[in-house]
Structure 1
Amino acid sequence: MLQGLNHLTLATGDLDRSFAFYVDLLGCRPRVRWARGAYLTLGDLWLCLSCDPPRPARDYSHVAFGIPPEQFSALCARLRAAGVVEWKTNSSEGDSFYLKDPDGHQLEIHAGDLESRLASLREVPYEGLTWFD
């Protein structure tokens, strides 16, 4: 039986640039690095950077990272000062900052969790919403 997310792998065309982005800007912890990749951690997340031609999503698919609400504004200011590309404006519950990594992968920094999202849906449900618990 599946237990949850094991790891996330993102293709990168420039390992040095992506390594610096994820470690220096986003705060991932480097674990190992080799000629064509690196393993990083962020909380319980195991992130792999792999040297392959990146093909970022062109739809709403993205990776969302959590942040404590009291740290949200400072990180967003630091990311904007670093010149990251923003790809969307937040329109849902909780503070969110949508940015692209150096290879164009769509990311989100979100100050909230599933419980806060579910609470907001109790107040303002999505069209066609069905509850299972």
Structure 2
Amino acid sequence: MPHRTIPFALVGIDHVVFLVDDMPRALAFYRDVLGCAPGYSYPVMGMEQVWAGAALIVLWDTTHPGAAAAVPPVVGGRNVDHLCIATSPFAPQDMRDHLARHGVQIVREATHGGARGMGHSFYVLDPFGNKLELKGPAEYPDGRA
């Protein structure tokens, strides 16, 4: 069978969609805790988007009539473990303090690999149980940034 060239190149994550049931609370978390900027709004669908760097996080309110197609058939079903959001450099204690000020519990703190290399990560849950990894840039043993 002849090898076929893929007619596209992957660029990165465009967006992820999280199901929520309290839009004001969701927007407050993504704005105040993560610093996301407002994105596109789809009020007929009960959907708001926020910018996380160059990607979007889509918040879809399952209590809104326009979200009927998004309501999972099994309550509590899960098909995503977490979303990793790349961050600028940070001091770990500053991140701990910031999250504590907002009442956000750190689920896990570790150094993990990712698309940008090994870096410091904080795992937190948004108010709806979605796990987020806030991952700093690569850290190198020789001190390179």
TM-score w.r.t. length of structure 2: 0.65
Match of 1:19 in 2: 27
SS of aligned partner of 2:90: helix
Structure with the higher helix share, 1 or 2: 1
| Structure 1 Cα separation of the partners of residues 111 and 31 of structure 2 | 28
| Structure 2 Cα separation of the partners of residues 70 and 63 of structure 1 | 19
Aligned with 1:106 (options 112, 115, 131): 131
Match of 2:107 in 1: 87
Q: Give the number of aligned pairs.
A: 115
| Structure 2 Cα separation of the partners of residues 89 and 76 of structure 1 | 10
Distance change in 2, residues 1:75/1:46 (3 Å): same
Q: Is the 8 A contact 2:84 2:133 kept in 1?
A: yes
Q: Is the 8 A contact 1:56 1:103 kept in 2?
A: no
Any unmatched runs of 5+ in structure 2? 1-7, 63-70, 113-117
Match of 1:46 in 2: 56
SS of aligned partner of 1:80: helix
| Structure 1 Cα separation of the partners of residues 111 and 91 of structure 2 | 20
Detail structure 1 runs of 4+ shifted over 4 Å in the superposition.
53-59
Q: Is the 8 A contact 1:72 1:111 kept in 2?
A: no
Distance change in 2, residues 1:77/1:12 (3 Å): same
Higher RCO, Cα 8 Å, sep 6+: 1
Match of 1:128 in 2: none
Q: Is the 8 A contact 1:56 1:104 kept in 2?
A: no
Deviations 1:70-118 (A, max 9, x none): 35542331112211132223253421111000001001111124xx5xx
Distance change in 2, residues 1:57/1:87 (3 Å): farther
Amino-acid identity (%)? 25
Q: How much is the aligned-residue C-alpha RMSD, in angstroms?
A: 2.7
Distance change in 2, residues 1:111/1:91 (3 Å): closer
